[in-house]
Amino acid sequence: MSSPRYLFLLLLLCTGIAVPASYGQKEISTTDSVEANSKEGKNAKTDEIYFQAIQAKMHDDYRQARILFEKFAEARPEVAATYYELCNLSYDEKQVDKATEYIKKAISLDKDNKWYKEDYASILADHGEFAEAAAVMAELSKQYPDDASYDKATAEYYTQAKKYKEALPYIDKALLIENEDEDLMERKVKVYLGMNDVEKAAEVVRRMIALDPTNGKYYVELGDIYDNNRMTAKATEVYQKALKQLPDDADVQAGIAGHYLKTGDTAAYRTTMNKAIVNKDLDAQGQLEQLNNYLQLIPADSMKLVQGLPVVRQLAAQHPDDDQVMAVYGDFLELSNKHDSASWAYKRSVQIKPSEFNVWVRLLGTYAGKENADSMLKYSDKFIRLYPNQADAHYFSAIAHNNKGDYAGAIKAVNRAIDYEPDNNKAALAGFYAFLGELYHSNKQDDMSDKAFDKSLAINPDDASVLNNYSYFLSERGVRLDDAEKMSKQSLALKTGEGTYLDTYGWILYKKGDYAKAKEYVQKAIDQSGANTDGTLYDHLGNILYKLNDKDGAVQNWKLAKQKGSDDPLLDKKISEGKLYE
């Protein structure tokens, strides 16, 4: 909807206000003069209502504005501007039928007002009535023959209504006013293609090539028209000419690559597309756009990495000072599991442009392992200095402190993250509280750990991971085992067959003295995990077997636990003495 033309509306209102008799007018009788004065007084009062309505609208008090405009319309039904205002208010409130009724009324009172007709056409088009909108704009085209905008709008609405023959003369008329306008010529191409007249569409594009023979995108457009209509030989001819005329043009190279792909020559496609992407005539942004187009046509992510990484590496060599190129390079390196190289690329990106929040997040993600705790701590501190009020910055700091074994520091950082996270971001808050629960557990603050887990589950009661961790920590402490069993069952219902969750449930049963059933679940956990079984599971099974008087089986599993890296401090003693220590 167009914005109100307040000055215009004020002038309209003035036509309803009495004006002094001009020189030479016949004399008005005393009776007529009294009636005129009476009318002037009445109009002055209603004019005040109108201006109050305008003022209410300017102060965003739309309800009061509507009441006042309706009151004014009742008193002065001949003023078209009132219905225009009521149309705008109704449309903003999604009362389309009322808006249409009001704008029609405004037009009936002021048939020559182009703004009213423009808005009427907009209302019709917004609701898919394109042919009707085109008819309204066609009237304006006739009323204003030198204004090409009405011809363009008429053609566009007819095109959207798929009435291509009706659209064509309006495009031609606009071209007479705006000769050789690229947008109009492109619309003409679209219309001819809608009419399935491929050759006439091609003729228009050839005209565009003649006007600008160094613009590679026109050759590509012509080639695509032929390719999309299975006229491969003609497309090949176009691209051969384009390659001869513009051998180093990136658009032409990308177009020819697309042609190769459509004809099934994938090897030629890759080779030619790679040339287009690294074409030095393009700036970094243009090259990245070409890269994105290239990647979208590669179906498998694994192939995107294989085929994309060498190209991105060339771009990084060409643009070592472009933050976006270096960030994309980091993405490819990270996806290729080249974490150290990815960290370098991300660091280079944020050195060039420190304000890129998402690149900082990706950089810190490369330092998630415990072996990189110092690097994560260093860069999370820098991140916090740049974004002190962002929860993510403090969250990464918490991970770094946790990886260094500084649980108090991690707890402090997570609590800051919680303070800065918006209350409506429930998923993030649930995750922060769950992490806080783990940290309090590691710091032996059991009551605080339980409270944090409770807060996490209050937000998301069906988080299987939180249910599993909470129940396992309770079982480790040997408290609230019934609650632990209930939560563990729930986690298994949410993720059936998850090895870690099976082990937790088995361990809770062990703590409750149900050794036979505990063995069943821990063994299932080991079978489910296979070669990736954690040493803790073998340690658990060893303890269970000892309780079942299978001492040899217990020692055998404790040895497996040691081989798999279990961190049980009593493991060596259990193995050497063949006895259970807890």
Residue that is written with structure tokens 């922060």 in the block: 432
Cβ density class 113-133: b for 16+ within 10 Å, e for less: bebbbbbbbbbbbeeebbbbb
Per-position DSSP letters for 536-552, written without gaps between them: HHHHHHHHHHHHTT-HH
Q: Check the CA dihedral 558-562-563-564 and report its sign.
A: positive
Q: Check the CA dihedral 475-478-483-485 and report its sign.
A: positive
Which residues fall within 8 angstroms of residue 423, CB to CB, at 6 or more apart?
429
Distance CA 464, CA 470 (A): 10
> What's the confidence (pLDDT) of residue 234?
95
Tell me the mean pLDDT in the region 316-345.
94
Q: Which residue has the higher pLDDT, 304 or 450?
A: 450
Q: Is the predicted pLDDT of residue 320 greater than 90, yes or no? A: yes
Rounded percentage of the chain residues whose pLDDT exceeds 70? 92
Q: Provide the 3-class DSSP secondary structure of residue 151.
A: helix
Distance CA 107, CA 503 (A): 77
Q: Which residue has the higher pLDDT, 3 or 20?
A: 3
3-state helix, strand and coil shares in percent for the chain, rounded to the nearest 5: 75, 0, 25
Query: Which one-letter DSSP state was computed for residue 64?
Result: H
Tell me the mean pLDDT in the region 3-15.
39
Lowest-pLDDT choice from 149-158, 274-283, 298-307, 374-383: 298-307
Distance CA 293, CA 62 (A): 46
Neighbours of 552 (CB within 10 A): 9
Q: Is the predicted pLDDT of residue 19 greater than 70, yes or no? A: no
> What's the confidence (pLDDT) of residue 27?
36
Strands (E), 359-463: none
> What's the confidence (pLDDT) of residue 299?
67
Model confidence at 532, in pLDDT bands (50, 70, 90)?
confident
Contact call for residues 432 and 414 (beta carbons, < 8 A): yes
> What's the confidence (pLDDT) of residue 266?
83
Tokens of 371: 């072996």
Q: Residue 414 is which amino acid? A: V
Model confidence at 28, in pLDDT bands (50, 70, 90)?
very low
Distance CA 48, CA 567 (A): 85
Span 65-78, pLDDT tens digits? 889 989 898 988 99
Per-position DSSP letters for 209-251, written without gaps between them: HHH-TT-HHHHHHHHHHHHHTT-HHHHHHHHHHHHHH-TT-HH
Per-position DSSP letters for 367-426, written without gaps between them: T-SGGGHHHHHHHHHHHHHH-TT-HHHHHHHHHHHHHTT-HHHHHHHHHHHHHHS-TT-H
Q: Is the predicted pLDDT of residue 7 greater than 80, yes or no? A: no
Q: Is the predicted pLDDT of residue 138 greater than 50, yes or no? A: yes
Q: Is the predicted pLDDT of residue 393 greater than 80, yes or no? A: yes
Distance CA 157, CA 150 (A): 11
Distance CA 409, CA 387 (A): 19
Distances (CA, A) of 128 to 119, 123, 131, 158: 14, 9, 9, 11
Lowest-pLDDT choice from 31-45, 163-177, 296-310: 31-45
Q: Is the predicted pLDDT of residue 32 greater than 90, yes or no? A: no
Residue 277 burial (CB < 10 Å; 0-12/13-18/19+)? buried
Mean pLDDT of the chain: 89
Pick the closest to residue 323 from 361, 365, 353 (CA basis).
353
Going along the chain from its start, the domains and CATH numbers come out as 1-19+29-127 (1.25.40.10), 465-533 (1.25.40.10), 542-582 (no CATH)
Tokens of 351: 């050195």
Span 190-244, pLDDT tens digits? 999 999 999 999 999 999 999 999 999 999 999 999 999 999 999 999 999 998 9
Residue that is written with structure tokens 């809770």 in the block: 508
Residue that is written with structure tokens 């109100």 in the block: 4
> What's the confidence (pLDDT) of residue 457?
97
Q: How far is CA 220 from the centre of its chain?
A: 30
Q: Is the predicted pLDDT of residue 42 greater than 90, yes or no? A: no
Q: Which residue has the higher pLDDT, 450 or 97?
A: 450
Which residues fall within 8 angstroms of residue 538, CB to CB, at 6 or more apart?
526, 557, 558, 560, 561, 564, 566
Cα within 13 Å of Cα(538), Cβ side: 24
Backbone conformation region of residue 41, classed left if phi is above 0, alpha if psi is from -120 to 50, else beta: alpha
Contact call for residues 185 and 203 (beta carbons, < 8 A): no
Tell me the mean pLDDT in the region 420-441.
96
Tell me the mean pLDDT in the region 284-302.
82
Residue that is written with structure tokens 């009151």 in the block: 71
Distance CA 338, CA 319 (A): 20
